[in-house]
Chains A and B, each alone.
Chain A
Amino acid sequence: MKLQRVRIEQLRQFRQPLEVGELGPGLNLIHGPNESGKSTLVRAIRAAFFERHRSSSVDDLRPWGDSSAAPSVELDFECRGVQWQLRKRFLQQKRCDLQVAGDSYSGEEAEDKLADLLGFQFASRGASQDKHWGIPGLLWVEQGSGQNVHDAVAYAGDHLKSALNSLLGEVASSGGDDVIQKVQSQRAELLTATGKPRGDYARLGEEQKTLVTELAALDERVAHYQSMVDRLGELRQRYQRNEQERPWEAARQSQQEAENRFREIEQWQQEQKQEQQALDDCRQTLELLRRQQQQSQVAARKLTEREQTLAHCKETVNTLQTREEQVTVAQQQARKAYDKARQQVRVAKEQEQRNRLDNDIKQLRLQLETLGKNLEKARAHQAELQETRNQQQANPLDLEALEALRKTQRQLEQERVRSQAISTRLHYALESGQSLTLNGQSLQGEGDELLLEASTLALPGIGELTITPGGDDLARVQRQLERLQESYDNQLKSMKVDSPEQAGKLAEQQAQRKETIQRLEALLASIAPQGVDVLESQQQELTRRLEQLQSEQKVLSEIPGEPVSLTGAEAALELAEQQLSEADGNLQEHSKQLFAATQALENAQTEWQQLKGELDNPERQAAERSLQTQIAETGERATRLQQSVSNRQEQIDEARPQLLQQDMARFKASAEQLERSHQQEALELTSLESKLESQGAEGLEEQREELAARLEHVNRRFTELHRRAEALDLLLSLLQEKRQALTRRLQAPLQKHLNHYLGVLFPKANLDVDDNLMPGQLTRTGQQGQETGDVLELSFGAREQMGLISRLAYADLLQEAGRPTLIILDDTLVHSDRRRLDQMKRILFDAASRHQVLLFTCHPENWQDLGVAPRDLEALKTAN
């Protein structure tokens, strides 16, 4: 759809006609300041389409204060390849004329044709509102409402979907949504939104539970009732039987019998007790008698014992007496042996002493001899030593003075050599026979003279020559020589030697002597460390001792006999001593024993005699015989009684009195219990009968039947509702599933267009479209990576941008479906920043290549770079 020309007259501020012609097929930018009439122009276009020409609710179109005005709008546009012209006048001389490719329509027919073409409705009453506007409502954006795309989409929904249907073919269901709604409402009667039962369905479920509980209770009561009936039958039978048989009487009879029997046994027990007493007495007597008898028997036994003791004692004494001589002889022999052994020991000791003396004397003599030799040597060494020491002391030589002399000698020689070196040398070679005189000394032949002082050479025949050696040194050396010579001579003199060589020889001799002294001293020390005098006194001491020993030796008598070993003699003595002591002991012991045995014999004799006397008493023998008889009699009686008692006990045991007593108690208790329970059963019978009577009247089982029927009925109804609920649930989910699948297919093209524009603003972003083709979730790459949020949560500016993008996408969609598209934007995107606005301009320019866009603005400077010439409304006004 391309709008080509708009003309308005007597409409709001345009009392005079205003014509906007030559509108381009793409973007048209119309600008003017506030109140210049932009919105009026938009309102006029809307009125031309949306308002019935007969409507009386369009007073706002009338210029202020001009009640006679007839607002009119003329529109020329091209659509579906044909030319359309619409003329519409409101309030006065209302008219609507439409020319389409030569055909003319007027009035409501014309208006309906337009509504069908563009996709909107008319208001049934009053002014047209946004809910009627359909597609144009979506594409014609009023000032300040660009961000609110949701209402507009909702109002355009059916038109959009039908457009999509035509795009996709017959995929949508003509009445699907209606069916879904019905299924939903039917389901809602049975189930809540979360799928829980509600209403009758829920109530039936509850009732079902209640009935089941009640039924169970009733079942239990029926079972109880039946068990009571069974009990009654049983009880009644037993009661009647007991009434006839009266079992407690039989029990009483048994009790009586047991009692009688028990009395009888009690009698026995009495008798038994008496006889037992007699038996006990009898036994006691017997015991006493026996004890008496035992005592006399003990006396007799003792006598025998004493006889034996006596005999034994006699034998002992005899034995001891026969042994006496033997023991005495042994003791005497031992004594003799002992004395002999002692003698042997004394001899052995004397022999040993003599031997030792001989040895000592021999030893002493040897020592004396050695000592004599040493003393001799020591005396010789001492004499030599004394002599040498005397020599040494006679010719002492100072070794330091000798050293000083040698040093002086060396200096003197050195000085002499030096004087020769610096003296004047006089060489002479004289003709044979010729001579010269030097300092009075004649010189012949050839030779050298050293001149140390002024010398006079007398040349025979010629005269004298005085030669004086030059230089101070010669004079000093001369003086030094003289001084050293003097010292040298003095030293020799003091040492009393003629030359240093002599002195050296003397020193050597002195050293040799010193060595000799040292050697002799060492020898002397080794032979007589404590001196020669000590050696001498030792010699005297030893001599004295020798004399003493020799005198001792003389004293010792010479005892003849064989040499005896002391050790052997001592051992023999010890043995003899032992034997002697043993023999003494034996003798002593023997005497003791003998004494004791004799004593014992006497005692035994006395005791035996005494007891024998007693036993032989005739009175005593008579008493013993009587005792014997008594014992026999009493024993016999006890045996008799014992037999009788044990026989009776057996009888009593067999009768089991304890069991009888138990029987008595048992029968008694049984009788009582039987009678009591019989009475109780009578009571229970009555009570059961009355209970059953009253419960039977309730008709429990019939009640139960009725309740079961009710339950079954409820179950059936519940099952029906349950099945219905499930069926509705299934149906609804299937319908929604299919519808969603369809919607997704429908959404695909819209999604494509949306993402086409969205990519310019946010690369790779995605805007979801919901079932109703509304933009929903926006997913884009933000600062923190992927972020997703509802479009409604964006800022106002961003929502406005999204709104515009969505509208352009819808326009693309509609165009694809062959629907007319015209986009009118009244002062849009005023909240966008510069950068976003630039992007939006790219989007808008792109859209304008497919759709006609009318853009009204009061900020033409914002839209300069859209590549179209802006049209100034003010200029248009003046142009008309």
Chain B
Amino acid sequence: MPRFLHTADWQMGRYYSRFDNDDAVALAEARFTAIERLAQLARDERCDAVLVAGDVFDAQTVADRTIRRVFNAMSGFSGPWVMLPGNHDAALAESVWTRARRLNAVPDNVHLALEPGVVELKAQGLAVLAAPLTQRHTHSDLTEHFDHLDTPPELLRVGLAHGSVQGLLAEDIDSANPIAADRAAQANLDYLALGDWHGVKQINARTWYSGTPEPERFRNNEAGVALVVDITGPGAEPDVRRHRIGQFEWVQWREHLNVATDLDELLQRLEELPAPAVVDIRLSGEVDLAGEQKLLHALSVAEARHRSVQCDRSQLSLQPTDEDIAELNADGYLGEVIGELREQQESADDEKAATSRDALAILTSLLRDRIEPASESAGEGQS
């Protein structure tokens, strides 16, 4: 009764430009950890093989060190790995794979499916039908030849491919690397392991996207898992289970703040968010001085708990209340300046509004420092 692990889209060598250096390094590191976790999982679950459905590497020319580290990280599972080139690491004349081979970095238990065809794992009872990308993009369905590939009848027919299943999403109709949605049925496959979609997604009983093991975008749903597939024998329905691999959840919130309770509700959610996560918040609306202080405080706390917290407040206008102004002792022309900045925040010109908002923040913080020079500064802007 063969059991194998289905994963894809490791995107090794990716660098996270949107984060500060520390966070970016940590997130990149987490991807190596994910491979180790996959190996661990395969061993723990006594999988017969691990199938990687493309985009192991994010680019062809990654550093030698990256290549070596990837294969090193796989050492936890000594069973066979079948790795498929995807669009990011296509099997070109010269590719990351040829380099890996030249570096002697590929262990013997790793099968690189650089050419279309069948990788027979007789001992494991698997015949892996591979449809590697040999160009960066193709517009024909590379899995079509699965229909005509013969495999020994005692072995499971497992397809391994990378691309977009046709008809899944309207926008994918013309996309590169198309894959017919009913390929599993047409090619009489027991299972079709797919890569390219970064969240886990079931197409039909025998066709799955595993998604990436460690999330690297805010958009994908349910990223950060690997699939353990059990199939009792040729023709049997596969039993697919999800296993959490990813360390960091990626959360993106777009919030519009109108009243004080909006902010409270947001801060509540932030507090309850399981750590560690990668958080991206974009705020609009308005907030008073007290609210802003509360927000800054909460963000400061969250930054310490989570891997990364980014908060874009450029659309959030600061609206000090009269009490705020009185408290800040902003008398005379300072009061007038605050008033004017408040008005300018509402300008139709976004840039002007943002500048006014920043100016107001600087002014209020200066004024606050003046009243309570000893108190802890709440910071000046974004974290």
Contact = CB atoms under 8 A, between A and B. Distances in A.
A723 B355 contact: yes
Given A183-B362, A229-B93, A702-B13, A712 B18 contact: yes
A421 interface: no
B21 interface: yes
B58 A225 contact: no
B62 interface: yes
A727 B358 CA distance: 5
Interface in B48-85: 58-66
Contacts of A709: 15-17, 21, 24
Nearest to B88: A701
Nearest to B357: A727
B337 interface: yes
Interface residues of A, number: 57
Interface size class of B (residues with CB under 8 A): 35 or more
A725 B305 CA distance: 31
A699 B94 contact: no
Contacts of B363: 179, 183, 731
Nearest to B64: A697
Contacts, number: 157
A236 B356 CA distance: 62
Given A178-B370, A229-B93, A230-B92, A702 B102 contact: no
A596 B65 CA distance: 135
B95 interface: yes
Contacts of A689: 94
Q: Interface majority SS on A: helix, strand, loop or mixed?
A: helix
A661 interface: no
Contact of A233 (B60, B92, B370): B92
Interface stretch (A582-590, A734-742, A764-772): A734-742
A229 B331 contact: no
Interface stretch (A169-177, A410-418, A785-793, A804-812): A169-177
A726 B355 contact: yes
B99 interface: yes
Given A225-B61, A734-B340, A735-B333, A713 B21 contact: yes
A688 B92 CA distance: 14
Interface string B10-23: 00011111101100
Max chain A Cβ within 10 angstroms of own Cβ: one of B17, B93, B335, B382: B93
B30 interface: no
Nearest to B95: A229
Contacts of B370: 175, 178-179
Given A696-B60, A699-B62, A742 B94 contact: no
Contacts of A756: none
A703 B164 CA distance: 29
Contacts of B59: 701-702, 705
Contact of A175 (B334, B358, B361): B334
B158 interface: no
A485 to B, nearest CB: 164
A174 B15 contact: no
Majority secondary structure of chain B interface residues (helix, strand, loop or mixed): helix
A739 to B, nearest CB: 6
Nearest to B352: A730
Contact of B94 (A182, A232, A700): A232
A236 B98 CA distance: 14
B366 interface: yes
Nearest to B96: A696
A705 B15 contact: yes
Contact of B61 (A688, A699, A713): A699
A708 B333 contact: no
A400 interface: no
Contact of B337 (A226, A708, A711, A731): A731
Interface in B23-65: 24, 58-65
A724 interface: yes
A742 B335 CA distance: 12
Interface of A: 170-176, 178-179, 182-183, 186, 222, 225-226, 228-230, 232-236, 688-689, 692-693, 695-703, 705-706, 708-709, 711-713, 720, 723-724, 726-728, 730-731, 734-735, 738-739, 741-742
Interface of B: 13-18, 20-21, 24, 58-66, 92-96, 99, 102, 329-337, 340-341, 354-356, 358-359, 361-363, 366-367, 370, 380-382
27 contacts: A175-B367, A175-B370, A176-B332, A176-B333, A183-B362, A229-B93, A229-B95, A230-B92, A235-B93, A693-B99, A696-B96, A699-B61, A699-B65, A701-B13, A701-B60, A702-B15, A702-B59, A703-B63, A709-B17, A709-B21, A723-B355, A727-B359, A728-B359, A730-B341, A734-B340, A734-B359, A738-B340
